[in-house]
Amino acid sequence: MKLLTCILKQNDCYHTKRTIQPKGVMVHSTGANNPNLKRYVQPLDGDADCAALLAQLGVNNNKNDWNRPGLDVCVHGFIGKLADGSIASVQTLPWSWRGWHAGTGTSGKSANNTHISFEICEDGLTDPDYFRLVYREAVELTACLCRQYGLDPLADGVVICHSEGHRRGIASGHADVEHWFPKQGTSMDDFRADVAAELAARPEPEPEPAPEPKPEPEEDDDMKYYKTLEDVPEYYRSTVEKLVESGVLKGTAENVLNVSEDFCRTMTVLDRLGKLV
């Protein structure tokens, strides 16, 4: 899957800023023989990534894309051809935004309140190669969304197309995508199964285990120790003798002191400063 982002910030739907808790994904198709993403998706002049997106999408010189006010429709994404002829997905609304894609069904309810939506750009509906590519892209995009929102694509009503939504009373009376998929020997049941297989083949990665704490490195004890008074260098010896005589420093019965050089140095400094009695 190749996923670009081009949010339709000039579409009136975007400005409502209403959000949903996604409970499913609704698959649509555009109903027009134009497989090019540029027909529907264009960045805004002045966007930081405008030039890069136009290079990938191509330019819609007709100015009839969906990134403009005055439209009563807006989906979360499109699947179709880039300027170089390759297939990609483009996110056009934040996934948790409430889209305008389903209309109101016979129940008085709308999948706009529950489902993320995307449109597959139609061609003439007879090219199996184009269908195979956009179908696979749609499977991977749907699996990605199911993974992100913890959705089971095989559960009732989770992954549906517009026409299925109409039968459920939560979408207006459109035929997509059941006017197209069967022509290519595919059904929405096949689609749901393929999404589930994609999820199983690429499960959510296990979180990496926390690294084992590294043991604290053992300090190298390079300190010099003087076993007896006779081993203490002459420039420390008078101070150490004073400590022994005063009883501050006591060795073992064999006159073993095992005093460190640091200790001897510190005590000698204090002695020279008159701090030792």
Give the integer Cα–Cα distance in Å for 131 and 241: 97
Would you say the pTM of this structure is higher than 0.85?
no
Domains, the chain: 3-201 (3.40.80.10), 225-272 (no CATH)
Q: Quote the tokens at residue 148.
A: 């992100």
Per-residue pLDDT tens for 70-109? 999 999 999 999 999 999 999 999 999 999 999 999 999 9
pLDDT of residue 213 exceeding 60, the answer is: no
Stretch among 142-156, 208-222, 252-266 having the lowest mean pLDDT: 208-222
Give the integer Cα–Cα distance in Å for 130 and 122: 9
**Amino acid in position 156:** D
- Name the burial class of residue 23, with classes exposed (0-12), middle (13-18) and buried (19+) by CB atoms within 10 angstroms of its CB: middle
Give the dihedral sign, CA 65/66/67/72. Answer: positive
Average predicted confidence (pLDDT) for the chain:
90
Give the integer Cα–Cα distance in Å for 41 and 45: 13
Residue 30 CB neighbour total at 10 angstroms: 19
